[in-house]
Structure 1
Amino acid sequence: MTLDKIRPAETGDIDSAADVLAAAFSDYAWTRHTIAADDHQRRVRDLQRLFIERIGLPHGRVWVADGPDGVVAAAVWTTPDSTGIGEAFAELAELTPALAGDRAAAAASAEAAMAPHRPAEPVWFLATVGVHPDHQGKGLGRAIVEPGLAAAEAAGVPAFLETSEQANVRFYERLGFTVTAEVQLPDGGPTTWAFRRG
């Protein structure tokens, strides 16, 4: 693995980080279930871009990994010490049905199914993380997640995440997470696991 660095993201990284996350999530079970197949890649990219721009950078923490040709991985966390995040999520909620398209109802029911399994107490929430497919299998997944884990641990706050890929379960367990829920999403959706660390 050759990396220049893993660093906090800046505004100028929004588009490249969104491109990376869109590539990483193009065939992800959750997004396939909750975002329309029509122009799917563009919809996923627009959603990731909105999340980075409206939630991650102003209200949370975002890290990116630089490779020889630019950003190759990104991790977006929400944190308990941000202000105004409720309003930001409300604004995002108004925009997401259009991006979900004909999967908007499925997206809403998936969120409702996961809501009871999300922590009520303050946590660092790994909202989205991805490595460009051309750079997977090189240890970047662990490397891009570790700054957030260290920050959460330093703050004395648990970390939380969800995944809809069985292959990710063991990966997150090796990072010290424990499965707290295994949920079969309604409307033919995928199994989704909730995890907590700390």
Structure 2
Amino acid sequence: MEIDLTSSDLVQAHLSDWKTVADITGEAFAEDPVNQWVFGKPGAIRSMFRVMAREMYLPQGLSHLHPAGGATMWMPPGVDAAPSQVGLFKFALGQLRHGTLGAIKRGMALSDLMQAWHPKEPHMYLFTIGTTRDARGKGVGKGLLAPVLKACDAAGLPVYLENSNPANSGFYATHGFERMGVFEIGGDGSPIMEPMWREAKT
């Protein structure tokens, strides 16, 4: 699937950009209800995204950067979105350094839940989209989505994501995503995840 970035402000991130991608994402998710509940500290959230960017999404998936301060991490169809054993080990080390043992357990449990909800039908998976605080409200999110959604439409490929912040539901809905359901990440009034699906537009 070819993604045309020529009419956008985006650049494709390379493996050497893993820290930039992860740190933008970590800042974007620092106040996210799910990530706060699971990891607690901003440093622990950032550490998790550094592992995911370096070990999974940049070498195996697709990532774009926006010069105003935005980043995405995608996984195309046919690639296993589950963390590798090496990735899980580095995740645990990062949490022991920046977070807590409880964060490791909660993070692993959340990963299992996300895998259980993950559709089997071929699709493009949006793991994260985020902007820095200074870039919010400037159309960066829309700019990050547009080229990939256009390419998915041309290829007849649906898109899947898990929304971890109810405040973002409207943003995703305006781009054609529909709720598949909701699940609590830990019970007892814990935050919810909202799996969302977007059919290709013809």
Q: With structure 2 as the length reference, what TM-score do the two structures score?
A: 0.82
After TM superposition, the structure 1 = structure 2 runs for residues 8-19 of structure 1, keeping only pairs within 5 Å, are 8-19=12-23
The reply on whether 1:93 has 2:68 as its aligned counterpart is: no
- Name stretches of at least 5 consecutive residues in structure 2 with no aligned partner: 1-7
After TM superposition, the structure 1 = structure 2 runs for residues 22-171 of structure 1, keeping only pairs within 5 Å, are 22-35=26-39, 37=40, 40-67=41-68, 72-82=69-79, 85=80, 89-98=84-93, 99=95, 101=100, 102-171=102-171
Aligned counterparts of 1:86 and 1:119: Cα–Cα separation in 2: 11
Aligned counterparts of 2:193 and 2:141: Cα–Cα separation in 1: 19
Aligned counterparts of 1:75 and 1:86: Cα–Cα separation in 2: 15
**Over aligned residues, Cα RMSD in angstroms?**
2.1
Identity of aligned residues (%): 24
- Name stretches of at least 5 consecutive residues in structure 1 with no aligned partner: none
Aligned counterparts of 2:117 and 2:167: Cα–Cα separation in 1: 20
Q: Which runs of 4+ in 1 moved over 6 A?
A: none
How far off is 1:121 after superposition?
A: 1.9
Partner of 1:5: helix, strand, or coil? coil
Q: Which amino acid aligns with 2:65?
A: V
Moved more, 14-23 or 106-115: 106-115
Mark the CA change 1:159 to 1:90 in structure 2 (over 3 Å): closer, same or farther: farther
Q: Which amino acid aligns with 1:132?
A: T
More strand by share: 1
Partner of 2:182: helix, strand, or coil? strand
Mark the CA change 1:113 to 1:16 in structure 2 (over 3 Å): closer, same or farther: closer
How far off is 1:44 after superposition?
A: 1.7
Summarize deviations over 1:45-94 as a string: whole Å, max 9, x none: 22212212221222111011013xxxx00000011144xx4686333223
Q: Which amino acid aligns with 1:54?
A: E
> Is the CA contact 1:123–1:160 (under 8 Å) kept in the aligned structure 2?
yes
Q: With structure 1 as the length reference, what TM-score do the two structures score?
A: 0.84
Q: Which amino acid aligns with 1:142?
A: K
Aligned counterparts of 2:83 and 2:32: Cα–Cα separation in 1: 25
